[in-house]
Each structure stands twice: as C-alpha cells, then as structure tokens.
C-alpha cells in the first residue's frame, strides 16, 4: 500500500486551516491585506497570473506548499524531466517537455539521444511543410495543395484543432486546415464538402495506425480521393503521423512521408510533436518554433522556480484546495478571446483523462476526490449562458479568466467609446470583480430597489477566480498557456498519488464496441445481451434500421 496523503500532518494542517478561514470572504481578505492584489501575482514569460481573488491567505499558500513538499513534488518533478519511468502502469518515461527542448540541449534516456531524435523529426516536418507551402509539393494532377485535412481523434485532434483556431492570424502560406475526428460520418462529409480532391492533402494521425475511428475515416477519405483521381493518387495526397511503417505502407502512403513520435509522448501531450504537422503546415516552421519556445519557457519556470513562486505549482495547489477542502468539483475556463474557443475542450482531455483516476499509482484506492471537471466557453458568450450560476448559484465554481491586452482583430464600438476589444476586456475585469466582491443587500436597497426585489439582486461574491493576462495571442503565448496547465495536472496528480499519464478507463468501452458491432449489423436476430437495458436498446436500433430484432 502506498502512503495516503490525507493522513499526513500537512494535510491535517490544511484541514484545520480550512475550518478557520471557511467563513472569511474576499472583501475582508482584501481589506485586511491591501497589497494582495499586486503581491499575489506572478509574471511567467508573457503571462501575468493574478491569483489574489482566491479564498486563500498567505498562510494558506504556505500550508499548500508544505503539502507539496510532503508529497515529494520537487523530486518527482525532477524525475519527470530526467526521463525516469514515472508512468508506472505502462513502464514509460513521461517526456513531453523534451519535445520543446532547444537543439543544443542534452538528454539521454534509455540509451537514446532524445533531443537529437526530436529535432530530426522537427527538421523533416519543416522540410515537408516548406515544400507544401511553397508549392513545390504538388498533387497527382500537378495542382498546388491548398487544404490539409487532419484525421485523428483525442490527442491527435483536440490539440491541433485548438491551436489552428488560436493562431488563425498566423496562417500565411496559402494552406488552410480542416479536422476530422468523429466516426459519425456527418463529420467527414461536412469537412469534405466543397473541397477539390486535386488540391487536398490528408494527414492520418495514429501512432499505431490501428485506431478504429481514425482508420475508418481515413479509408472513407481514400475512397473519396481515388474515385476522383484514381488509386495512384494516394501517395501524393496522404501522409501519416505514425510509428507503424508496415501498416502505413499497406494503406498506400509512402513511408518517406511518415512522421513518428515516441512512447514517452502521451496523446494529450502531443500537439508539439509530429501531431502538430497540420499546424506547422498552416503557420510555417518558424512560427511553430516560437510555439515550442513558449512551452519551454514555462517548462523552465516550473523546473527551476521555488514552489512558493512557481505559477503551475500554486495554481495546481489552489485547484486542489477547492476540490478537496471546499468540495468544488469543477473549474470554469473562460477565455476572453474567440480564437481560444476550443481551449476548454482541449483542457478537458488534458486534465480529465490525466487525473480522472480512482486508484493510486500503486493500485490502492484513493481516499479523497481526484480530477477537477473542466468546462467553459469564451466570454462574453458564457455571460449570457451560465454566469448566472457562477454568480448566484449554490455551487462553488472557481474560474480561470484568460485575456489579452492587444486584439487579434478590432472594430469601433457602436457609440464610439473605445473599441470592441476594449468592451470585451471591460467585461473580463468586471466579471472577476463582481464574482469576488458581489453586491450586498444594503447596497442594493440604497439604490431604491423595492424590498421584495432586493434578495433577488443580491450578489454574494466570494466566488474565486484566476486572471491570466497576456499582451497578445501569439504562437509563443499559446505554448505558454498549454504548458501552464500541463504542469498543474502533474502537480495535482503527485499530491493525489495517481498516475496522470495512463488512461485505462477508455479501453474497455472500445473493446466492447468492437464486440457489439456485428450484433448491430448481422442479418440474423442477435443473441440476448448480458443486461436487459442494452438488449432492448440494440433490438430497437436494429428494428429501426430494418433488421430483424
């Protein structure tokens, strides 16, 4: 049995401390500590991280850092960076941080020159995308490629989709990207609509080249292409991100156009690997290098900064503080940038697939809640959808606000007061302020509000948030944001004692789906399923598909 963090003196001290400050509100905390608004903040690269609007005191932060030390966070952080096999259930190193190491860095793991291997792939990616963007790479008819379609799922899709949208202003090579992930045929059909096969290139992203959804979509895409251009066109219109050369070749893809990655890269940590090929095709190798440099900047901060001045450490610990001591189960991610519309969806996989575990790394059951539930929408859309619950609901929902001083696009406002970006950001600042400090019944009554309406308008405040402000949404800043959350995931996983880098929970459902597929499609009536609910659902489905039930 592994050690139980909840039984440590550090955890017990935090539990007592929570009892002492649970009734304190943010109005009082700011009144008692006027400097907290500037002192409970950190600058990491281009990110200004304000964590002052959290229900923490300086004593809380000290106790949380004590907890991190009790869990052995510094040593475990060092083990990850050095290539120790910290993914114990799969006996693998966890080295997504190596994907963004500079060329002159040195790291050898299991006898392999990791940095050399990484940059060899990056160089091949760069050479390929240079040819694509310059028009040197041509399709089967001699026409220039103008659209790349990335076919992948999970980590092979969520990261590239998010980054492609976030960096749309850096698309400068005449190549655009579309993304197909869902095995629902509507996804592929919609993404192929309006495309010219002669100017379309498919990137098939599957490490093993056996992922059912990806190969199903890839096969359908190949059929779409060959019906228009013939079988010989495949080698000019398909490339692969995979390590399975045999299956890639069997599909018809030239293995010279296969870009690999390694077992020490988890799918949800892979957008900065060859999985990002579609991103590089759109923004170019130089901008992609800036993207990687942003990751590395935050990696170095996380690796070297003292825990008490370490942004990913503090934010991860604060997330755990709410999850385990206040009973808050979710965290809202609210980017005030429409270009980051897919950021919350990206973080859902990063955080929930990593830390949605009920056993510790040694196989013993956890004794406290794990895995924050991440969700969110861009501002100001969310304000007109779910902020009501954030402000006046009965559930505590800590929120991360992400904003930018300089817009990617801007237009004047209707009344000429500032610009639309100024209006957007005025909402950003106002929402964090109102969530924190609210409005009392006395303040509302003083405005002449009828007494029977006053209770409905009271804003209790004391709703916590982090504000992350950057000058502009650039490739580097996107990398910095992703790394900031990657390392929070690691921090929480270490405290909980879980393996944040496996995902066994997704496997059984896939196995069962394979077993059920012939049950749905066979001509003969199916055998009775093991439970009455599934059996009834299958028979109804078959009947509505015109098959014997």
Give the model's pLDDT for residue 1. 36
pLDDT over threshold 90, residue 527: no
For range 258-270, the mean pLDDT: 96
Q: Is residue 401 within 8 Å of residue 394, measured between CB atoms?
A: no
Contact 129, 284 (CB under 8 A): yes
Share of the chain above pLDDT 70, in %: 100
pLDDT at residue 526, rounded to an integer: 84
> For the whole model, what pTM was predicted?
0.97
pLDDT on residue 471: 99
For range 65-75, the mean pLDDT: 99
Closest CA to 295 of 104, 538, 513, 475: 475
Q: Report the relative pairing of strands 465-470 and 399-404 from DSSP bridges.
A: parallel
Across the range 298-306, mean pLDDT stands at 99
Q: Is the pLDDT of residue 3 over 80?
A: no
CA–CA dist 58, 143 (Å, integer): 63
- Looking at the DSSP bridge assignments, the partners of residue 112 are 109
Q: Do 190 and 253 touch, CB atoms closer than 8 A? A: no
Give one word for 497, left, alpha or beta, with left for phi > 0 and alpha for psi -120 to 50.
left
Q: What is the pLDDT of residue 2?
A: 52
Residue with tokens 């509100």: 25
Angle at which helices 158-166 and 475-496 pack, to 10 degrees?
140
Distance CA 358, CA 336 (A): 34
Helix or strand or coil: residue 47? Answer: strand
Cα–Cα distance, 190 to 44 (Å, whole number):
40
Task: Tell me the per-residue pLDDT of 118-135, one tens digit each, with 9 for 90 and over.
Answer: 999 999 999 999 999 999
Judged against a pLDDT cut of 90, whether residue 507 lies above it is answered with: no
Residues with active-site annotation: 353, 384, 510
pLDDT band at 523 (very low <50, low <70, confident <90, very high): confident
pLDDT at 529 (0 to 100): 82
> What gap in Å lies between CA 74 and CA 97, rounded to an integer?
16
DSSP secondary structure letter of residue 227: H
3-state SS assignment for residue 263: coil
**Three-state secondary-structure class, residue 180:** strand
Beta-bridge mates of residue 149: 178, 202
CA 177/CA 185 separation, integer angstroms: 19
Mean pLDDT (whole number) for 365-369: 96
> Which stretches within 167-304 are classed as H helix?
185-192, 212-229, 234-237, 245-251, 277-283, 285-304
Read off the pLDDT of residues 373-404 as tens digits, 9 standing for 90 and up. 999 999 999 999 999 999 999 999 999 999 99
Please state the separation of Cα 188 from the chain's center in Å.
23
Residues 97 and 302 sit within 8 Å (Cβ to Cβ)? no
With both helix axes pointing from N to C terminus, report the angle between 185-192 and 212-229 in degrees, rounded to the nearest 10. 40
**Which tens digits make up the pLDDT trace of 189-203?**
999 999 999 999 999
* Arithmetic mean of pLDDT over the chain: 97
pLDDT given at position 314:
99
Classify 403 as helix, strand or coil.
Answer: strand
Per-residue confidence (pLDDT) for residue 530, from 0 to 100: 82
Band (524; pLDDT cuts 50, 70, 90): confident
Mean pLDDT, rounded, for 232-253: 96
How far is it, in rounded angstroms, from Cα 547 to Cα 549? 6
> DSSP states of 340-353 as a string?
GTTHHHHHIIIIII
Say how far apart CA 38 and CA 50 lie, in whole Å.
8
Q: How far apart are CA 448 and CA 300, in angstroms?
A: 55
CB 465 within 8 A of CB 25: no
208-234 per-position pLDDT tens digit: 999 999 999 999 999 999 999 999 999
């Amino acid at each position: 049995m592994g050690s139980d963090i909840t039984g440590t003196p550090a955890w017990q001290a935090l539990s007592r401390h929570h009892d002492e400050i649970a009734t304190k509100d943010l109005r009082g905390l700011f009144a008692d500590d006027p400097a907290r608004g500037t002192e409970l903040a950190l600058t990491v690269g281009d990110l200004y991280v304000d964590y002052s609007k959290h229900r923490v005191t300086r004593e809380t932060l000290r106790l949380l850092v004590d907890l991190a030390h009790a869990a052995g966070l510094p040593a475990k952080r060092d083990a990850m960076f050095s290539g120790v096999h910290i993914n114990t259930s799969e006996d693998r190193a966890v080295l997504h941080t190596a994907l963004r190491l500079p060329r002159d860095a040195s790291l050898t793991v299991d006898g392999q020159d990791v940095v050399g291997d990484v940059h060899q792939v990056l160089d091949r990616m760069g050479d390929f995308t240079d040819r694509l963007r310059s028009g040197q790479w041509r399709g089967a008819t001699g026409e220039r490629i103008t659209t790349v379609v990335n076919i992948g799922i999970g980590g092979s899709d969520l990261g590239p989709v998010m980054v492609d949208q976030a960096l749309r202003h850096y698309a400068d090579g005449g190549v655009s990207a579309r993304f197909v992930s869902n095995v629902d045929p509507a996804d592929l059909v919609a993404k192929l609509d309006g495309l010219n096969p002669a100017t379309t290139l498919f990137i098939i992203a599957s490490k093993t080249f056996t992922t059912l959804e990806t190969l199903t979509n890839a096969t359908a895409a190949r059929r779409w292409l060959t019906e228009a251009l013939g079988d010989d066109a495949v080698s000019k219109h398909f490339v692969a991100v995979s390590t399975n050369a045999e299956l890639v070749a069997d599909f018809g893809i030239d293995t010279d156009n296969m870009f690999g990655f390694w077992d020490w890269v988890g799918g949800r940590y892979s957008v900065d690997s060859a999985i990002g090929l579609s991103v590089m095709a759109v923004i170019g190798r130089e901008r992609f290098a800036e993207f990687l440099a942003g990751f590395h900047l935050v990696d170095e901060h996380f690796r070297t900064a003292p825990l008490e001045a370490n942004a990913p450490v503090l934010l991860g610990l604060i997330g755990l503080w709410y999850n385990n001591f206040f009973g808050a189960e979710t965290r809202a991610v609210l980017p005030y940038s429409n270009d980051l519309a897919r950021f919350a969806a990206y973080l859902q996989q990063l955080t929930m697939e990593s830390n949605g575990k009920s056993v510790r790394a040694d196989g013993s059951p956890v004794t406290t809640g794990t895995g924050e539930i991440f969700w969110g929408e861009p501002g100001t859309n969310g304000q007109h959808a779910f902020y009501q619950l954030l402000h006046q609901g009965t559930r505590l929902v800590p929120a991360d606000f992400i904003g930018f001083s300089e817009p990617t696009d801007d237009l004047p406002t209707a009344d000429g007061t500032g610009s639309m970006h100024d209006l957007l950001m005025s909402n950003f600042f106002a929402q964090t302020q109102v969530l924190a400090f609210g409005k009392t019944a006395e303040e509302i009554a003083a405005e002449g509000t009828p007494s029977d309406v006053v209770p409905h308008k009271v804003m209790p405040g004391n709703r916590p948030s982090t504000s992350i402000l950057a000058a502009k949404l650039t490739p580097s800043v996107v990398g910095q944001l992703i790394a900031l959350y990657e390392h929070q995931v690691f921090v929480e996983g270490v405290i909980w004692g879980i393996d944040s880098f496996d995902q066994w929970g997704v496997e059984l459902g896939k196995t069962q789906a394979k077993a059920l597929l012939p049950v749905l499609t066979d001509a003969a009536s199916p055998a009775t399923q093991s439970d009455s609910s599934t059996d009834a659902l299958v028979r109804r489905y078959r009947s509505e598909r015109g098959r014997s039930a």
